[in-house]
Structure 1
Amino acid sequence: MRLIDADAAKVELLRMVGDIHGWGEFFDGIRSGYQSAADRLDTMPTVEERKHGHWEGGGAYYCSNCNAYAATDVFGGGLDITEQHYCYNCGAIMDGDEE
């Protein structure tokens, strides 16, 4: 998956509409297609940017972003914190960067 800037894509599609020179149904259809694509960008679903955080605490680690405790095994013991690269609750990337 590639994330794109939908606003920039819309500007580019509308620019392309203006660049189509010619008359007749064929060119009107092309212009209409680009215009429809530009309008459709406003209704497309969006993806949230991924949050970043780190594990805090000692023994019982918790997410710096949402305060959820790190995952445990089925017996209630803690899993190795170095192997938990994401918060299971909020999805934050546990890379130590705070954004």
Structure 2
Amino acid sequence: MRLIDADALKEKFQECINSITVSDPFITGVKNGYESAEYWINEVPTVEERKHGHWEGGGAYYCSNCNAYAATDVFGGGLDITEQHYCYNCGAIMDGKVGDDK
């Protein structure tokens, strides 16, 4: 999947729509296609950008975004946090980069 700027795409479609001044039936159909595409961009569900975070704490590590504890094994022991690249609860990428809530 690739995240795009839907507002910028709508602007491009609007530029194309505004540039069409010929009343030829084929060109009118093209214009209607641009208008339809612009409409459907508004109807498509929006995807949230993935958050970034890091594991905090010592012994019992927790997510810097949602405070959920890191995953444990079936015996209740902590798993190595260097192998937990995502928070199982909120889906944050555990790399500590910009976008971190802290």
TM over 0.5: yes
Pairs within 5 Å for 1:30-69: 30-69=30-69
Residue of structure 2 in register with 1:28 after alignment: 28
- In the superposition, the TM-score normalised over structure 2's length comes to 0.91
Count of residue pairs the alignment pairs up: 99
Aligned-pair distance for 1:95? 0.5
Structure 1 residue 22 displacement after superposition: 2.3
Distance (whole Å) between structure 2 residues aligned to residue 94 and residue 82 of structure 1: 9
SS in 1 for 2:13: helix
1:14 aligns with 2:20: no
State whether structure 2 residue 11 is matched by structure 1 residue 5. Answer: no
Once residues 96 and 38 of structure 1 are traced to their aligned partners in structure 2, the CA distance between those partners, rounded to angstroms, is 37
Structure 2 residues not aligned, in runs of 5+: none
The CA RMSD over aligned residues, in Å, is 1.1
Percent identity, aligned pairs only, is: 69
1:86 is aligned to 2:86: yes
Taking structure 1 as the reference length, the TM-score comes to: 0.93
Q: CA deviation at 1:20?
A: 2.6
**Aligned mates of 2:14, 2:67 — CA distance in 1:** 44
